[in-house]
Amino acid sequence: MTHAQLEIADLSIRFGGIRALDGASFAIQPGITTGLIGPNGAGKTTLFNCISGLTPGATGQVRFCGRDISRAEPQEISRAGLVRSFQLARGCENMTVFEHLMLYGPRQRGEGLIVAILGNPEARRQEEALREEALDMARRLKLAHVLDNLVTRLSGGQKKLLEIGRALLAKPKMILLDEPMAGVNPTLVQDIADHLVEIRKSGISIVLIEHEMELIERLCDEVIVMAGGRFLTRGSFSDIAGNRDVQESYLGIRRQ
């Protein structure tokens, strides 16, 4: 039996009087695309924030590849291979597309102060290799023609593609994608979906928050449903679509 790659156990957090997560518990298997769905307010983005270390203070446990990351810092979690994107992809407004892609290469030797001042042959070789990776990523994501553009000049879809590119350059084992197609024109939606298929084929696990059920059906091997900050059910898309509990909580269909 395959061991879970990401394990969430009794994860809870409050914001004032609101319990955003209420004992959420489930596990995600490696090497597949898992859809995470649920009505607005179900706790999906809050879950991502807690998993990735951006929202501290949650109770419960998060384990990734067998390691407890419940209290780890965001950069530590990213270095462990768990990388996320954001629903609103902004980036650094004074940086170009190419600079963004270069920024996310892991463990860059040239980042140290002494190496940056004095120089280092190994650091230069690593930077040149990262430069080639960044250029190749831009070509793969059809961003080569905007490589020197500031991120503020990109369309919404191009920003989402850049988010995916910088996540991949961080050498992840799993990517958490928060609505990567939201606000994107239909042509780029198909481009992004095609890239996600290729990412999954490469062996990188994906957890995808998405409201468009056609995309969930096309992309996801398994679907997990949340409601009220808790795990509701899981299964294939067809299992989920026919589940009365899901229809009641997510689609607003009442039992007769």
Per-residue pLDDT tens digits for 161-217: 998 998 898 899 999 999 998 888 888 898 899 999 999 999 999 999 998 899 999
CA-derived radius of gyration, the chain: 19
Those residues with Cβ within 8 angstroms of residue 189's Cβ, 6 or more apart along the chain or in another chain? 157, 181, 215
Those residues with Cβ within 8 angstroms of residue 38's Cβ, 6 or more apart along the chain or in another chain? 44, 225, 226, 227, 232, 249, 250
pLDDT at 3 over 90: no
Is the distance from CB of 105 to CB of 130 less than 8 angstroms?
yes
Give CA–CA dist 223/229, Å, rounded. Answer: 16
In this structure, of 25-39, 123-137, 173-187, the range with the lowest mean pLDDT score is 123-137
Q: Which is nearest to 102 in space by CA: 160, 169, 172, 199? A: 169
DSSP conformational letter for 150: B
The string of DSSP codes covering 151-177 is GGGS-HHHHHHHHHHHHHHT--SEEEE
Is the distance from CB of 176 to CB of 52 less than 8 angstroms?
yes
- What is the arithmetic mean of pLDDT over 219-234? 95
Q: Which is nearest to 103 in space by CA: 75, 122, 145? A: 75
The reported pLDDT for the residue numbered 115 is 45
Average pLDDT of every residue of the chain: 87
Strands 67-68 and 59-64: antiparallel
**Prediction pTM value:** 0.87
Query: Which band of pLDDT confidence, cut at 50, 70 and 90, is reported for residue 29?
Result: very high
Q: Which is nearest to 202 in space by CA: 181, 173, 223, 224? A: 173
